[in-house]
Structure 1
Amino acid sequence: MKRKNVIYVGALLTFILSVTAVQAQKNNVRVTIYNENLALVHEMRELELPKPTGVCSFRDVAAQIDPTSVHFKSLSHPTAVRVLEQNFEYDLVSADRILQRYLDQKVQLATKQGGTISGTLLNAAGNLVLQAEDGTVKILNSSEIVATDLPKLPEGLITRPTLVWLVANDGPAKQRVEVSYLTTGLAWHAEYVGVLDEKDANLSLAGWVSIDNQCGATFPEAQLLLVAGSIHRAEAPRPLPKQMRVMEMAAAAGGFEEKEFFEYHLYTLSRAATLKDRQVKQIELIPASQTPVKKEYTYDGSRDPKKVKVTLRFKNSKENGLGLALPAGKIRLYKPEGEAQVLVGEDFIDHTPRDEELRLNVGDAFDIVGERTVLSTRKAGDRADETEVKIEIRNHKSEAVTVNVLEHFYGDWTIRRETLAVPARGKAEVTYTCFRTW
């Protein structure tokens, strides 16, 4: 008898999941995802609405839904349906939930020792507490229990996060409805991969979008829109839960179309995509394109007395193979070495409009060293002074380099004079006098 009960429950759950999957495929779903752990979900479904009033359910919504943001509308008969009451139900089926529903009722337990214990269930949190027919109370460690026999599945348990409405319906029972809501647990960001050529003159740049779905719902064959930009919210979003994630690389066919939208940029995927719960999906944003770049060396001695920074500079223009509004994200830079590639640096870019310049901080030059020395300082008036500074750059590379020297002073200042000489495999000195007023 126990075996039959287990098979029946398993078959029932399989049937529920199968029906849910078939229904989901027939729904029209649009998911708009923002950078800040927020998404707007639109769904259109065929529902059976009670007449003249009654309760209807809308299953498989996001577990992290904001119930106050839900909007319900009948597309078939907009003026015939009104929502009188709304509830968000998330009392999902689990062993603990089922046992809680059997408090003060008779249950039968099977122990590891092979015996059975019957009684009225008084507590199901942690150790189980049973009262036998003779009035004695037994406290059982849950780890000692191997099976629990219950007469039936309690009513009212929910197998999926569900919106439940009390509606007034003056139209037909079968109607097509649209439901929209905000949810946390969905976020996206851009990531870029750049490969330099042998002479560091060109960069093959490709962009990917990573979508992280931890909202507690799967959206099959959804229309996907991504909003790049920072929107103002009246309340800070909740943090993402720490759950296991599945990484999936989506097919590159059918990429994103980008356009301006309000004060942001909107990226619409030209094909449907399935967003599974607890999954990170990656979709190609821009295909690899050759972009001319300029490598620069910069020394800022007042902030870092020894290091010379290496940067790459290029323009986000159509002429350079780009010209797309680039969403913020991390760029990883590689350079070929034989048949492999070696990571040479990483940087983050902000949201970058088309035709704007990008500067990537690659790292510190190994063979170029800087040194900053203050030679003299004198007062040049009540609110003025003059400072003489020497900058020395030592180049241990096999080729000559040009280093940009940055300087910072407070107040109004000008550089009076400077000298520069750059020998091969040697050193270069810059000596200048700064006149400053305040």
Structure 2
Amino acid sequence: MRGLLALAALIVSAGTVPAAAQQIVTSAGPENVSVTVYRAPYRDADEAIDRGNPDGYALITETRTVTLPAGRTTIRFEGVAGNIFPESAIIAGLAQGVREKNLDADLLSARSLYDRALGRRVIIRRTNKVSGKVSEEQATIRSGVGGAAVVQTGGGVEALRCTGLPETILYEGVPAGLSAKPTLSIEVNSVVASTSTITLSYLAGGFDWQADYVIRLAPGGARADIFAWVTLASSDVTSFAQAGTQVIAGKPNRESTPSFGDFGSGSLSLQCWPSAGERQVRYASAPPPPPPPPPAPMMMMEARAAIDVVVTGARKVAQEELGDFKLYRIADPVTVASKAQKQVGLLSKESVPVAIVYASDVDEDDVDGPIMTIRAKNWREAGLGLPLPAGRAAVFEAVGGRPILVGESSTDDKAIGEDVEFKLDESPSVTADADQLSRKGRSARYRLTVTNANPWPIAYEAKFAPVDGRFTASAKLGKRDGKALWAVLVPANGTATLDYATIGQR
């Protein structure tokens, strides 16, 4: 089968052993587990986590104790991550070497159960929408999982889901070979029987994290309370209870690797066939059905759980260095739950000095609308002074004693000593326009006018695009990001102007 071939892992050494000589030891789960989550490498700071399909990854480290007999043994590690990259698995603590690694591919799901029932007898249960009457009929599945379920009943062959009635497939049991948990197996050869405490480490897809900032502006806008969450997301089928949890800020260079285990998408989607307009298809002739199964049907329903969001409150998070990256270690154990999203407190800083500036980019007489920008110094003396991971921010201001959303923004990773900016949106109360006053050859003169409709003064900044010739202005200019910068305080309900010229521009 294609899935089994795709999920075969690295064979370290070859050899054949009689089936009777092969012994199996099963480790049902880890005693301790650590989860280190890396952000999706190509997701921008202003993009939210894809909750249905997180595109980051995690390093899972598990501690397990196994007792091995002498001889050739297969160790089955049940409960590993469903989206494990088996080629990344590292096993430490075994006295003997690993001969072979395999990922068991067939996980129990609505899709795999249906696929294994091809050619077998099932029960079709239908419910009348009007009367509520339930009827059951024996049928044999004659098609695979691709699009439509063709079944053979006593009346012929039909396509399921074409009667317009709610229909459910009931199976007589779970076929052999379907595992309820993702399982990594390794083969070892022990000289003597032994009990070992081993460490299993591997990478797995389907995880992601981000920082989410909540900024509460104080009256007057000169200070703000800054709180940040670590938001963890997992689409994996495996939960990691009470895990030591870390997150990594930065973008490690990692090539995109397809997940070997498609365990997170075992859903079954069937539709009427061959067309939506044809309600039912029956044929007079059909191959003879197989013998009926034992009369003990078991109903199997698809159960796709919604992704939960759990807020755990503030916890102590310690920041550590990891080469050029930043590691944030959550002090208390965290349950990284299956198909869930969780938030853990990252930092809380009160009364941080901030500045509110309205900023525009200017290119000759083309002026962008002023953007309300909140700035802070990432210094300890200024109330912060710690590496800030990239993430999104929600900015609130108290109005009548209640917080009102002012806008949303984002920030990239910021080191200690850097300026932190949260850019919101254009302000309807602050406008900027530039007019061309004159042009002669390759030289031109312009006037920039800023209007403030607020009943309080505002700080305004304009950054000018570089020019080929000489650039002059009627006021002293500074520099920001290598560009000429005009910074001015615009009075309440007033204006400010700047005359500037480009001379000898090509």
Query: Is TM-score (shorter-chain normalized) higher than 0.5?
Result: yes
> Structure 1 370/70 Cα, relative in aligned 2: closer, same or farther at 3 Å?
same
Q: Secondary structure at the match of 1:85?
A: strand
Name the counterpart of 1:321.
383
Matching of residues 54-93 of structure 1 within 5 Å: 54-73=73-92, 75=93, 78=94, 80-93=95-108
> Structure 1 83/391 Cα, relative in aligned 2: closer, same or farther at 3 Å?
same
Measure, in 1, the Cα distance between the counterparts of 2:389 and 2:401. Answer: 31
> Structure 1 271/174 Cα, relative in aligned 2: closer, same or farther at 3 Å?
same
Offset at 1:295? 1.6
> Structure 1 87/431 Cα, relative in aligned 2: closer, same or farther at 3 Å?
same
> Structure 1 436/270 Cα, relative in aligned 2: closer, same or farther at 3 Å?
farther
> Structure 1 285/423 Cα, relative in aligned 2: closer, same or farther at 3 Å?
closer
Amino acid at match of 2:498: V
**383, 397, 400: which one aligns with 2:454:** 397
Name the counterpart of 2:52.
none
Measure, in 2, the Cα distance between the counterparts of 1:421 and 1:196. Answer: 20
Measure, in 1, the Cα distance between the counterparts of 2:31 and 2:419. Answer: 43
Name the counterpart of 2:333.
272
Measure, in 2, the Cα distance between the counterparts of 1:402 and 1:108. Answer: 73
Amino acid at match of 2:65: E
Task: Tell whether 2:306 aligns with 1:244.
Answer: yes
| Residues 373-405 of structure 1: per-residue CA shift (max 9 Å, x gap) | 1112224xxxxx432111122232223444323
User: Is contact 2:356–2:459 with CA below 8 Å preserved after alignment?
Assistant: no
Name the counterpart of 1:431.
499
User: Is contact 2:142–2:152 with CA below 8 Å preserved after alignment?
Assistant: yes
Name the counterpart of 2:31.
27
Q: Secondary structure at the match of 1:70?
A: strand
Offset at 1:335? 0.2
Amino acid at match of 1:399: W
Matching of residues 202-281 of structure 1 within 5 Å: 202-235=223-256, 244-253=306-315, 255-281=316-342
> Structure 1 262/413 Cα, relative in aligned 2: closer, same or farther at 3 Å?
same
Measure, in 2, the Cα distance between the counterparts of 1:301 and 1:274. Answer: 50
Q: Secondary structure at the match of 1:274?
A: strand
> Structure 1 399/269 Cα, relative in aligned 2: closer, same or farther at 3 Å?
closer
User: Is contact 1:368–1:394 with CA below 8 Å preserved after alignment?
Assistant: yes
Measure, in 1, the Cα distance between the counterparts of 2:169 and 2:407. Answer: 57
Name the counterpart of 2:71.
52
Task: Tell whether 2:384 aligns with 1:308.
Answer: no
| Residues 150-171 of structure 1: per-residue CA shift (max 9 Å, x gap) | 4x65432211111122221224
Measure, in 2, the Cα distance between the counterparts of 1:343 and 1:56. Answer: 55
Task: State the Cα RMSD in Å.
Answer: 3.3
Name the counterpart of 2:421.
359
Offset at 1:250? 1.2
Offset at 1:322? 1.3
**383, 392, 399: which one aligns with 1:337:** 399
Offset at 1:270? 1.1
Offset at 1:289? 2.1
User: Is contact 1:63–1:90 with CA below 8 Å preserved after alignment?
Assistant: no
Amino acid at match of 2:501: T
> Structure 1 425/328 Cα, relative in aligned 2: closer, same or farther at 3 Å?
same
> Structure 1 326/288 Cα, relative in aligned 2: closer, same or farther at 3 Å?
same
Q: Taking structure 2 as the reference length, what is the TM-score of the superposition?
A: 0.70
User: Is contact 1:50–1:56 with CA below 8 Å preserved after alignment?
Assistant: no
User: Is contact 2:141–2:150 with CA below 8 Å preserved after alignment?
Assistant: no
Measure, in 2, the Cα distance between the counterparts of 1:121 and 1:372. Answer: 73
Amino acid at match of 2:214: V
Measure, in 2, the Cα distance between the counterparts of 1:404 and 1:267. Answer: 35
Going by fraction, where is helix more abundant, 1 or 2?
Answer: 1
User: Is contact 1:90–1:160 with CA below 8 Å preserved after alignment?
Assistant: no
| Residues 59-81 of structure 1: per-residue CA shift (max 9 Å, x gap) | 111111111111122x2xx3x32
Q: Secondary structure at the match of 1:69?
A: strand
> Structure 1 394/101 Cα, relative in aligned 2: closer, same or farther at 3 Å?
closer
Name the counterpart of 1:4.
none
> Structure 1 181/387 Cα, relative in aligned 2: closer, same or farther at 3 Å?
same
Deviates more, 1:54-63 or 1:107-116: 107-116
Structure 2: unaligned runs, 5 residues or longer? 1-25, 41-55, 127-133, 266-303, 477-487
Measure, in 2, the Cα distance between the counterparts of 1:356 and 1:146. Answer: 60
Structure 1: unaligned runs, 5 residues or longer? 1-19, 380-384
Measure, in 2, the Cα distance between the counterparts of 1:396 and 1:108. Answer: 73
Task: Tell whether 2:434 aligns with 1:372.
Answer: yes
Matching of residues 121-136 of structure 1 within 5 Å: 126-129=149-152
| Residues 217-259 of structure 1: per-residue CA shift (max 9 Å, x gap) | 1101111111100011133667997983100001324x11101
Amino acid at match of 2:97: R
Measure, in 2, the Cα distance between the counterparts of 1:56 and 1:216. Answer: 21
Amino acid at match of 1:408: A
Q: Secondary structure at the match of 1:319?
A: helix
Q: Secondary structure at the match of 2:87?
A: helix
Taking only the aligned residue pairs, the percentage that are identical comes to 24
Name the counterpart of 1:289.
350
User: Is contact 2:75–2:185 with CA below 8 Å preserved after alignment?
Assistant: yes
Measure, in 2, the Cα distance between the counterparts of 1:416 and 1:272. Answer: 59
The number of equivalent residue pairs is: 399
Q: Secondary structure at the match of 1:179?
A: strand
Measure, in 2, the Cα distance between the counterparts of 1:192 and 1:201. Answer: 18
Measure, in 2, the Cα distance between the counterparts of 1:306 and 1:82. Answer: 65
Offset at 1:314? 1.2
Measure, in 1, the Cα distance between the counterparts of 2:454 and 2:81. Answer: 57
User: Is contact 2:366–2:434 with CA below 8 Å preserved after alignment?
Assistant: no
